[in-house]
């Protein structure tokens, strides 16, 4: 898989030094998502304060794409409103499903654009989306429980 070298560095950096990787207690929702095609796993704890995403913490194992993408996601979505966070997840998902046509809006997705090139490799798209889909699931559950 050939990705832009700057983007490879962003991914490697997050893989080596993942952000928010340690589950915080008493979450509003906890989910466990698995990407069976690659063997990636993520457990994600979500804390809301009112309508604001106050904490997103996680544990996981798997390939560098899945783990780095989850790290990037937490950094981007913490402190966003539930609606803004959901819009960003959908924007990231659209980029990953664009088959290389959508290079991503860096103002919105920040380090998330590093994964734009992954959209050209269908087998890896699920790796990049794993943590983001886990977040979306957790957010829906947390909102329902309020
Ligand atoms: Zn993977």
Give 58-113 pLDDT, tens digit per residue.
999 999 999 999 999 999 999 999 999 999 999 999 999 999 999 999 999 999 99
CA of 101 to the centre of ligand 1 (A): 22
**Alpha carbon of 66 to ligand 1 centroid (Å):** 5
Which residue ranges form the domains of the chain, and what is each CATH number? Answer: 3-145 (3.90.1010.10)
Q: What is the pLDDT of residue 63?
A: 96
Distance of CA 15 from the midpoint of ligand 1 (Å): 12
Strand partners, 30: 45
For ligand 1, the distance from its centroid to the CA atom of residue 122, given in whole angstroms, is 11
Which pLDDT score is estimated for 5? 82
56 or 4, which is more confident?
A: 56
Q: CA-CA distance, 40 to 51, in Å (whole number)?
A: 30
pLDDT at 45 over 70: yes
Rg (CA), the chain: 14
Alpha-carbon 84 to chain mean position = 14
> Does the CA dihedral 117-75-126-86 come out positive or negative?
negative
Distance 47 CA to ligand 1 centre (A): 26
In the predicted model, is pLDDT for residue 1 greater than 70?
no
Predicted local distance difference test score (pLDDT) of residue 2? 64
- What does the alpha-carbon distance between residue 143 and residue 13 come to, in Å, rounded to a whole number? 32
Which CA distances in Å does 90 have to 57, 85, 138? 20, 9, 15
Question: What does DSSP assign to residue 93?
Answer: H
Q: What is the average per-residue pLDDT within 117-143?
A: 96
């Amino acid at each position: 898989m050939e990705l832009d070298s700057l983007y490879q560095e962003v991914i490697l950096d997050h893989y080596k030094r993942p952000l928010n990787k340690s589950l915080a207690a008493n979450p509003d929702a906890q989910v466990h998502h698995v990407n069976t095609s690659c063997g990636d796993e993520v457990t994600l704890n979500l804390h809301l304060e009112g309508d604001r995403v106050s904490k997103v913490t996680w544990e996981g194992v798997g390939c560098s794409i899945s783990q780095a993408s989850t790290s990037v996601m937490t950094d981007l979505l913490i402190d966003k409103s539930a609606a803004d966070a959901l819009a960003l997840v959908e924007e990231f998902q659209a980029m990953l499903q664009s088959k290389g046509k959508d290079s991503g809006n860096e103002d919105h997705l920040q380090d998330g654009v590093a994964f734009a090139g992954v959209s050209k490799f269908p087998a890896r798209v699920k790796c990049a989306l794993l943590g983001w889909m886990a977040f979306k699931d957790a957010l829906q559950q947390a909102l329902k429980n309020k």
